C-alpha cells in the first residue's frame, strides 16, 4: 500500500523554498466564439454556465479526475492546456491569446499581469468558498484585497538528490554551492545534473548563494549571479522545469536536480519500493535561504466566460477538492478547510509544510519593475552560451 509520507530530508538549520513546472502544448489562442460565452442567468438568478471552459495550468498541477468530476457534475467541458513557466504564460497572453478562462500565475507574475491589464477583477464575495483560505494567504502584497486572484498552492524550491549515490551518502547537499561550485559539481556531474529552466528561480538561487536578495534590482549583483551560473553551466546536463521528475529523476537520467518540492516528492513516490519501504530521492532546502511561492487562480481579462470561471474557482476551493489537489501534487494547500482531508503524513512532512523557524527565512519572488529587463538580459546570456 502506498504511503503518503515521502520522508525527505529537511535540515532545519537550512532554508528553502519554491515554485512549480509544466509545458505548453499549443492550447486555444483564438477569441472565444460568441456562442461559448456565459449564458444568461437562470430564473432563480444563478448564472447559467458556459458549455466549455479553457483552463491553462502548470503541468501535473491538478489531478485530472477533479476536472472530470466537474465536467460530470456541471456539464461544462474543460479544455485543458499546460505551460512550463510564468514567463511562458505571460508571453502567450501578451501575444494575444484570448481563449483562456482560468490561469495559475505565481505571486510575482500576478503583479506584472495586473500592471499590464491582463487580469480580470474579481469580488471574493462572489466566491463563497473563499472563506476557506487561511488568513496567512489572503491580502498578499502582490494582490492587495485579492482583487484579481485567489490562492491555489504553495511550496518551496530546493535541491533533490539520488539516494544511494556514493558521494551524497557522505555529503548531504545542504547548500546552493552544490549547484554552482565546480569543485563540488565535478564529483557527480558525470551522472547528470538538472536545473530548472526558469529565469527567476535560477537567478534567485544564485543570488541567495551570493548573499543577495532574489528580488535585487542591482545590475552588478545580477551580473555576479550570471557569472556564477555560467561557471557552473558546463557541468549541467539539462535545463528542464517541465517534466524533469518523470523524464530525468525517476529513470535515473540525473542524480541531482534543482527542484520544486512537490516534483521531488513525486519522484520519490514514483521510485518507491514496497520491500525497502523507501523511494530513491531526497529533498533538501539550502542553508543560505530560498524562495517560497504562492500560485494563484486568476481569470484573464479577455475571458468571455467570467461567471463560469468564478464557478470553477469556487469548486476548486471546496474542502475535499482542495485536499485532493494537495494529495496529488504534494504541494501545501492554503485552504485551511481542506486540512482534515489532507493525508496526515503530508501535513506532518516538514519538507511540504516547513516549520515556522524555516518559513521565517524564506522569501517570495516579487515584481522587480524595470529591472526585469536586466533579468532578461542575464537570462539571454545564460541560455545563449
pLDDT at 21: 39
pLDDT at 3: 31
Asked whether residue 22 carries a pLDDT value surpassing 70, the answer given is: no
Percent of the chain with pLDDT over 70: 88
Q: Is residue 239 within 8 Å of 220, Cβ to Cβ?
A: no
pLDDT at 46: 59
Fold of 156-290+364-384: D-Maltodextrin-Binding Protein; domain 2 (3.40.190)
| Domain pair 34-154+293-354 / 156-290+364-384, same fold | yes
Asked whether residue 102 carries a pLDDT value surpassing 90, the answer given is: yes
pLDDT at 73: 97
In whole angstroms, give the CA distance from residue 169 to residue 146: 45
- For the stretch 292-322, pLDDT in tens is 999 999 999 999 999 999 999 999 999 999 9
Least confident stretch, 22-26, 31-35, 79-83, 194-198: 22-26
What are the start-end ranges of the H helices in 120-260? 166-170, 177-180, 182-185, 199-210, 219-232, 244
Least confident stretch, 46-60, 109-123, 157-171, 241-255: 46-60
Asked whether residue 12 carries a pLDDT value surpassing 50, the answer given is: no
In whole angstroms, give the CA distance from residue 120 to residue 367: 19
pLDDT at 292: 92
In whole angstroms, give the CA distance from residue 335 to residue 324: 11
Which of 127 and 354 is assigned the larger pLDDT? 127
pLDDT at 79: 97
Asked whether residue 19 carries a pLDDT value surpassing 60, the answer given is: no
Across the chain, mean pLDDT equals: 88
In whole angstroms, give the CA distance from residue 141 to residue 272: 39
Residue 54: Cβ-neighbour burial (10 angstroms; 0-12, 13-18, 19+): buried
**CATH number for the domain whose boundaries are 34-154+293-354:** 3.40.190.10
| 74 φ, ψ (degrees, to nearest 5) | -115, -5
As given in the structure block, the three cell numbers for residue 328 are 496529488
Domain boundaries, the chain: 34-154+293-354, 156-290+364-384
Q: What is the mean pLDDT of residues 228-235?
A: 98
pLDDT at 2: 28
Which residue's entry shows cell 536578495? 213
Neighbours of 360 (CB within 10 A): 9
pLDDT at 37: 64
In whole angstroms, give the CA distance from residue 74 to residue 111: 32
In whole angstroms, give the CA distance from residue 6 to residue 85: 26
Q: What is the mean pLDDT of residues 91-118?
A: 94
Least confident stretch, 5-9, 192-196, 264-268: 5-9
pLDDT at 27: 42
Of 328, 321, 307, 374, the closest CA to residue 102 belongs to: 307
pLDDT at 355: 81
Of 333, 84, 348, 285, the closest CA to residue 92 belongs to: 84
In sequence order, what are the residues at sequence separation of 6 or more whose Cβ sits closer than 8 angstroms to the Cβ of residue 170? none
Q: What is the mean pLDDT of residues 120-147?
A: 96
- For the stretch 29-72, pLDDT in tens is 444 444 456 655 554 455 689 999 999 999 889 999 999 999 99
pTM: 0.79
Amino acid at each position: 500500500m502506498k504511503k503518503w509520507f515521502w520522508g525527505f530530508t529537511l535540515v532545519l538549520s537550512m532554508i528553502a523554498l519554491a515554485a512549480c513546472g509544466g509545458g505548453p502544448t499549443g492550447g486555444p489562442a483564438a477569441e472565444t466564439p460568441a456562442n461559448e460565452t456565459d449564458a444568461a442567468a437562470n430564473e432563480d438568478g444563478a448564472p447559467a454556465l458556459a458549455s466549455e471552459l479553457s483552463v491553462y495550468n502548470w503541468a501535473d498541477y491538478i489531478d485530472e479526475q477533479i476536472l472530470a468530476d466537474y465536467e460530470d457534475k456541471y456539464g461544462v467541458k474543460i479544455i485543458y492546456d499546460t505551460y512550463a513557466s510564468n514567463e511562458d504564460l505571460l508571453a502567450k497572453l501578451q501575444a494575444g491569446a484570448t481563449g483562456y478562462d482560468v490561469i495559475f500565475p505565481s505571486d510575482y507574475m500576478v503583479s506584472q499581469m495586473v500592471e499590464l491589464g491582463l487580469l480580470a477583477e474579481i469580488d471574493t464575495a462572489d466566491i463563497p468558498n473563499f472563506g476557506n483560505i487561511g488568513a496567512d494567504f489572503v491580502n498578499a502584497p502582490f494582490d492587495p484585497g485579492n482583487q484579481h486572484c485567489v490562492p491555489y498552492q504553495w511550496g518551496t524550491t530546493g535541491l533533490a538528490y539520488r539516494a544511494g549515490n556514493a558521494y551524497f551518502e557522505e555529503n548531504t547537499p545542504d547548500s546552493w554551492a552544490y549547484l554552482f561550485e565546480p569543485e563540488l559539481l565535478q564529483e557527480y556531474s558525470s551522472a547528470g545534473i538538472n536545473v530548472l529552466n526558469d529565469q527567476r528561480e535560477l537567478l534567485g538561487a544564485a543570488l541567495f548563494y551570493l548573499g543577495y536578495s532574489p528580488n535585487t534590482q542591482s545590475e552588478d549583483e545580477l551580473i555576479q549571479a550570471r557569472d556564477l551560473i555560467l561557471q557552473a553551466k558546463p557541468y549541467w546536463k539539462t535545463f528542464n522545469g517541465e517534466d524533469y521528475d518523470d523524464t530525468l529523476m525517476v529513470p535515473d537520467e540525473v542524480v541531482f536536480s534543482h527542484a520544486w518540492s512537490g516534483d521531488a516528492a513525486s519522484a520519490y513516490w514514483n521510485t518507491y519500493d514496497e520491500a525497502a519501504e523507501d523511494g530513491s530521492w531526497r529533498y533538501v532546502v539550502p542553508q543560505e535561504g530560498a524562495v517560497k511561492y504562492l500560485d494563484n487562480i486568476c481569470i484573464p481579462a479577455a475571458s468571455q466566460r467570467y461567471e463560469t470561471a468564478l464557478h470553477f474557482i469556487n469548486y476548486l476551493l471546496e474542502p475535499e477538492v482542495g485536499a485532493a489537489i494537495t494529495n496529488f501534487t504534494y504541494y501545501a494547500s492554503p485552504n485551511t478547510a481542506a486540512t482534515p482531508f489532507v493525508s496526515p503524513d503530508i501535513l506532518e512532512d516538514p519538507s511540504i509544510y516547513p516549520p515556522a523557524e524555516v518559513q521565517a527565512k524564506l522569501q517570495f519572488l516579487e515584481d522587480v519593475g524595470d529591472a526585469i529587463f536586466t533579468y532578461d538580459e542575464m537570462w539571454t546570456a545564460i541560455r545563449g552560451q
